[in-house]
Amino acid sequence: MSVFFIGDLHLGHRNVLPLTKLVGGAWRGGETWEEHDEWVIEQCLSVGPTKRTLWYILGDVAMEADRLPMLDRLPGRKILVLGNHDLFPTQTYLEHFECVMGTHKKYGMWISHVPMHESELWGRINIHGHAHHNQIKDTRYLNCCVEWLPERRPISLEEVREHFGGAISGRD
């Protein structure tokens, strides 16, 4: 089974491209918000997922509920870690996700949308979304927003382990 992480898809966000250009770069693909949404899904599909893939979407998945069905194109199981823009009723998300949760402890690390306060890490690392183009200058954190991921594609559990030099375990 392969495990992938990606945060802040912002499907249906009509201002996502102008906002990213304001902070100094072409962080996301597409010329329109509709093209952006297709680009995000294509980026996810580019990692070669199968029906045995487990996806962790680290919050802020969609600004419009009618964009959620796009996620059904991703094979495998999907878990949503709720973000500050995930405001639809839980049942709306459960039509496309196996599970909806807040901060989660798994694989020897914390999985969250918002970066956790350093006093709450308790010796673990934190993979998170929310920060978009900002990176926390602390080796215990990994920003998994679209903007920071290598080639703007989801990052695998193996790549996360490599990033942290094997510092995370399989416990939990």
pLDDT the model gives residue 168: 64
Averages of pLDDT over each 10 residues, the chain, 172 residues:
95 80 68 93 97 97 97 98 96 98 94 90 88 79 87 94 74 56
pLDDT of 6: 97
CATH of range 3-163; options 3.90.180.10, 3.30.450.40, 3.60.21.10, 2.30.30.90? 3.60.21.10
Put simply, whether the predicted model's pTM sits higher than 0.85 gets the answer yes
pLDDT at residue 10 in the model: 93
Q: Which CA distances in Å does 148 have to 51, 58, 119?
A: 26, 13, 24
> How far apart are the C-alpha atoms of 105 and 126, rounded to whole Å?
9
